[in-house]
């Protein structure tokens, strides 16, 4: 399952996981907020980001 992540290079929104659910993860996020790093050829979605960290409260 993919999860929302933040790119460590440009701080844009990206995804992390298997890649099968990136459309679902990034669908509600405006494209202006997506990671702006170079994409893979033929893939409209940004490259995979780092594993999101957990915050314990």
pLDDT digits (tens, 9 = 90+) for 6-35: 999 999 999 999 999 999 999 999 999 999
- Nearest to residue 16, comparing CAs of 53, 55, 54, 48? 48
> Could you tell me the pTM of the whole model?
0.83
Cα separation, 48 vs 22, in Å, equals 9
Q: Where are the domains of the chain?
A: 3-33
Is 54 a residue whose pLDDT tops 70?
no
């Amino acid at each position: 399952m993919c999860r929302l992540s933040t790119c460590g290079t440009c701080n844009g929104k990206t995804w992390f996981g298997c890649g099968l659910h990136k459309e679902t993860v990034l669908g509600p996020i405006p494209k202006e907020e997506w990671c702006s790093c170079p994409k893979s050829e033929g893939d409209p979605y940004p490259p995979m980001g780092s594993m999101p960290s957990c915050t314990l409260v």
